């Protein structure tokens, strides 16, 4: 009787907790219902407190609501590889754009999604589509170049590839995050036409064509308002005009207010709810605003299937041949042949007996740029290693580093320390208070954005290392310290290096004479302010002269391959390059090699343009290989050796000087503000308008074969032409369609990219290529009408191999 009574009491308690509804079906768990029906059912069961809790993240996750079985939605960087432990390192975004292949972009997105699921994550924070407005932009390498049409086509297919795997893509950074300098607060002043024609098309295409599930707002302000609380961007454009149904999240730490953020369109504050929480969202804030944000978050979760037995992680995918082959395919298709005088390439293996492989990027695979997109690859291969593997004993390879890039410090080996290294960690930047102590055998740390150890802060800390080094021989030693941020070095209690400032990875040096077997006291102090953290102590022993070794290698070889460029320490999130010059005296290295050997090929690793004026006329061959991911070595080796015909085209203009670029007069001209006074004339549009000769134009790229363009026909809106491979190599050509409005009522560019197709042809083969025009592609944005406008009149159809190499042209009346 007692048990029956308890059962009855328990029953009525359950009825009361469920609002008095007996045998109620949990509709949101019914997969046969529509997503919106399930969302509304679940939303109706949530308390106001539960809803508010979901508006702020927990690092890289949304908050779970255990009472209702709402799981966390797990996110991961980044746009070029899953930055959650070791993963496949795919070529950078600029590499993908340089391939000009939409099918490849979809395969790329699909692979990223599979690896995202393999890490137990549900959302990937990519693609990055910010237009390359300035050539030294720190994150240009992550994005798809300077043209809105090319960027849109790559982005749409990337997103389709991601989301067909039930992973949410996140297009970023919305909008006008085109510089890293002062990115946290800089106010971008831009007119509506430039915004809509240049900087928003890829976001719009992602929403309208690809159905992207998430948008990330940018750090910066736009026309006076932070992007995370910008009504024009988030409400008027994104949610009203484009009818975006997914969620809008902030970039990490990019929220600055509560009420303006709540009212103007942001749905999710990341990484945590500093401004969006139950203490800041007061009772007077209408619950309907909260409901709409939670509704969007839940809609994404239901869309990717988080409530429906989401598939278990497949960890085997990270070492799959499929993804390794994809990384290789993207890398080789992205390589751009910039110069090939006297047919120096491909290397004639029958005539060449020895090759000098020289440069700081020969032995180290430069897989990606720095910051939140950098991936620690499970595997990678350098150009030097790949060349050795492919040539075997047939051709002698003479290697020399030549110069070292900052950040490439080789740590002093443990055997040269007279005792273990004592490390004192402080939870502040001033080396104050009681430290946590650790013991090490080397000073060789690259923590990225993580904490040095569990329970310690990831930012705003300092370390003091105390060590004794023992010289293995007598002579002049060069101590190298690479750090991100500040560093000091005391040698025998004397301050010899003092660089106590915030900066990206930079190498300081100190030269001194040491005596064999003598022990020297070293104290190294380091602080980390924010972002990436790294500190490494190395040295160069007597007799180690990389430049002299390079000279010897060049003299005794038939051809010199110079692997130069930048690295993740020079091109990275968080800062822009100071200039376009090759760092670490690489220009001087190239010039010296051309004096010693008449057969020189320069291979450039970079995420954006570099200057070449000092040596471009002294070398016969130049390749741009970008940051090519884990397979960069095999890809460039196959192009150099003729196993693959290069087909990449530049997605950005390479200028002859920074002064030639559209943003030269406005970038850094005023503290905290940047004026996009060039309007729509960005990239090649600017060079065309002012008749400025670039070093290499947008869309440019040579081949080992030749192509003939012929038989252009325009019938109504249909365009056709024929392309023939008139050379001796199988190869691909990117046929580019540009259009000029010859009778526009407003100022328009000399030409604008409106179509492209990548075509592979065997020697002697001909193919017909078709394009279709529409009024949408010929329209301009009219701010007075807040609408796109098409004007009938004369248009010029241009078919080219680049923006400056127009092969065929035809006038039409529309």
How far apart, in whole angstroms, are the C-alpha atoms of residue 175 and residue 662? 19
How far apart, in whole angstroms, are the C-alpha atoms of residue 544 and residue 477? 9
CB atoms inside a 10 Å sphere around CB 476: 12
Residue 293's nearest CA partner among 263, 258, 252 is 263
How far apart, in whole angstroms, are the C-alpha atoms of residue 253 and residue 98? 32
CB atoms inside a 10 Å sphere around CB 12: 10
Q: What is the DSSP string of 586-601?
A: HHHHHHHHHHH-S-EE
Polymer length of the chain: 814
Q: 180: which residues sit within 8 A by CB, 6+ positions away?
A: 137, 138, 139, 573, 574, 575, 576
User: Which residue's entry shows tokens 């979901």?
Assistant: 54
Q: Do residues 716 and 228 make contact, with C-beta atoms less than 8 angstroms apart?
A: no
Catalytic residue among 147, 251, 688, 741: 251
How far apart, in whole angstroms, are the C-alpha atoms of residue 505 and residue 486? 10
Q: Write the burial class of residue 726 (CB in 10 Å: 0-12 exposed, 13-18 middle, 19+ buried).
A: middle
Alpha helix (H) residue ranges in 412-565: 546-555
How far apart, in whole angstroms, are the C-alpha atoms of residue 329 and residue 88? 14
DSSP letter (8 states) at residue 620:
S
DSSP letter (8 states) at residue 703:
-
For 6, 8, 9, 218, the CA distances from 2, given in Å and listed in that order, are 6, 10, 11, 63
The verdict on whether 77 is a catalytic residue reads no
For 165, 196, 444, 501, 675, the CA distances from 176, given in Å and listed in that order, are 29, 11, 37, 28, 11
Instruction: Show the tokens assigned to 55.
Output: 């508006």
- The three-state secondary structure class of 497 is strand
- The three-state secondary structure class of 331 is helix
Q: 53: which residues sit within 8 A by CB, 6+ positions away?
A: 63, 65, 273, 277, 278
DSSP letter (8 states) at residue 680:
T
DSSP letter (8 states) at residue 372:
T
How far apart, in whole angstroms, are the C-alpha atoms of residue 17 and residue 401? 72
**Phi/psi class of residue 484: alpha, beta or left (left: φ > 0; alpha: ψ in -120 to 50)?**
beta
For 72, 151, 200, 746, the CA distances from 680, given in Å and listed in that order, are 42, 15, 12, 12
For 484, 610, 626, 658, the CA distances from 579, given in Å and listed in that order, are 19, 9, 18, 8
For 612, 641, 728, the CA distances from 645, given in Å and listed in that order, are 24, 9, 11
Question: 681 — phi, psi (to 5°)?
Answer: -90, 75
CB atoms inside a 10 Å sphere around CB 337: 22
Q: At what angle do helices 102-118 and 321-334 cross, to 10 degrees?
A: 140
For 172, 292, 520, 742, 752, the CA distances from 795, given in Å and listed in that order, are 34, 45, 75, 5, 12
Could you list the active site residues?
Answer: 251
């Amino acid at each position: 009787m007692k048990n029956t009574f308890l059962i009855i009491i328990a029953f009525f308690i359950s009825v009361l907790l469920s609002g008095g509804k007996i045998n109620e079906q949990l509709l949101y768990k019914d997969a046969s219902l529509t997503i919106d029906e399930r969302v509304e059912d679940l939303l109706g069961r949530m308390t106001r407190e539960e809803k508010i809790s979901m508006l702020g993240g927990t690092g890289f996750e949304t908050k779970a609501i255990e009472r209702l079985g709402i799981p966390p939605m797990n996110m991961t960087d980044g746009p070029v590889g899953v930055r959650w432990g070791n993963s496949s390192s795919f070529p950078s975004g600029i590499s993908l754009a340089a391939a000009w292949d939409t099918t490849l972009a979809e395969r790329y997105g699909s692979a990223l999604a599979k690896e995202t699921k393999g890490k137990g994550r549900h959302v990937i924070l990519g693609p990055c589509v910010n237009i390359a407005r300035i050539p030294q932009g720190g994150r240009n390498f992550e994005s798809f170049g300077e043209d809105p049409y090319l960027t849109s086509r790559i982005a749409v297919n990337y997103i389709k590839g991601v989301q067909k795997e039930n992973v949410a893509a996140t297009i970023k950074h919305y909008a006008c995050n085109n510089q890293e300098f002062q990115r946290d607060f800089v106010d971008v002043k831009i007119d509506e036409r430039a915004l809509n024609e240049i900087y928003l098309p890829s976001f719009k295409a992602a929403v309208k064509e690809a159905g992207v599930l998430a948008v990330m707002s940018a750090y910066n302000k736009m026309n006076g308002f932070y992007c995370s609380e910008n009504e024009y961007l988030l409400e008027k454009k994104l949610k009203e005009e484009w009818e975006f149904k997914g969620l809008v999240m902030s970039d990490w730490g990019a929220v600055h207010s509560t009420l303006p953020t709540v009212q103007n369109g942001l749905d999710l504050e990341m990484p945590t709810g500093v401004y969006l929480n139950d203490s800041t969202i007061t009772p007077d804030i209408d619950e309907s605003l909260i409901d709409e944000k939670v509704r969007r978050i839940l809609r994404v979760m239901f869309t990717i299937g988080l409530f429906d037995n989401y598939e278990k992680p497949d960890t085997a995918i990270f070492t799959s041949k499929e993804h390794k082959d994809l990384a290789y395919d993207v890398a080789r298709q992205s390589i751009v042949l910039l110069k090939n005088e006297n047919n120096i390439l491909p290397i004639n293996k029958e005539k060449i007996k020895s090759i000098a492989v020289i440069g700081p990027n020969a032995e180290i695979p430069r897989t990606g740029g720095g910051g939140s997109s950098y991936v620690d690859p499970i595997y990678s291969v350098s150009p030097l290693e790949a060349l050795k593997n492919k040539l075997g004993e047939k051709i002698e390879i003479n290697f020399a580093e030549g110069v070292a890039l900052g950040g490439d410090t080789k740590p002093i080996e443990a055997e040269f320390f007279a005792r273990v290294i004592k490390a004192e960690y402080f939870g502040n930047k001033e080396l104050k208070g009681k430290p946590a102590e650790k013991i090490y055998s080397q000073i060789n740390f690259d923590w990225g954005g993580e904490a040095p150890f569990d329970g310690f802060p990831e930012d705003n800390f300092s370390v003091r290392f105390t060590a004794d080094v023992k010289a293995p021989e007598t002579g002049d030693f060069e101590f190298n310290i690479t750090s991100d941020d500040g560093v000091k070095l005391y040698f025998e209690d004397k301050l010899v290096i003092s660089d106590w400032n915030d900066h990206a990875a930079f190498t300081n040096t100190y030269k001194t004479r040491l005596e064999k077997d003598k022990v020297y006291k070293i104290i190294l102090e380091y602080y980390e302010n924010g972002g990436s953290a790294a500190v490494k102590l190395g040295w160069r022993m007597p007799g180690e002269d990389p430049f002299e070794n390079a000279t010897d290698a060049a003299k005794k070889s038939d051809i010199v391959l110079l692997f130069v460029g930048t690295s993740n320490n020079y091109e990275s999130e968080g800062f822009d390059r100071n200039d376009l010059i090759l760092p670490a005296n690489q220009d001087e290295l190239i010039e010296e090699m051309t004096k010693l050997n008449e057969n020189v090929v320069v291979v450039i690793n970079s995420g954006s343009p570099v200057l070449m004026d000092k040596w471009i006329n002294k070398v016969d061959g130049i390749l741009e290989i970008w940051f090519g991911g884990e397979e960069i070595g095999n890809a460039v080796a196959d192009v150099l050796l003729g196993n693959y015909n290069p087909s990449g085209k530049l997605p950005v203009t390479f200028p002859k000087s920074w002064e030639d670029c559209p943003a030269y007069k406005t970038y850094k001209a005023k503290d905290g503000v940047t004026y996009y006074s060039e309007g729509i004339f960005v990239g090649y549009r600017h060079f065309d308008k002012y008749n400025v000769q670039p070093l290499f134009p947008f869309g440019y790229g040579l081949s080992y074969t030749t192509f003939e363009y012929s038989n252009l026909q325009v019938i109504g809106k249909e365009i056709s032409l024929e392309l023939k491979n008139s050379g001796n190599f199988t190869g691909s050509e990117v046929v580019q369609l540009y259009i000029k409005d010859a009778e526009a009522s407003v100022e328009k560019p000399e030409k604008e990219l409106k179509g492209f197709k990548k075509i592979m042809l065997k020697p002697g083969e001909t193919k017909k290529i078709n394009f279709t025009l529409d009024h949408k592609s010929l329209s301009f944005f009219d701010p007075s009408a807040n609408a796109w406008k098409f004007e009938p009149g004369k248009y010029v159809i241009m078919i080219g191999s680049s923006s400056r190499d127009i092969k065929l042209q035809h006038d039409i009346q529309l």
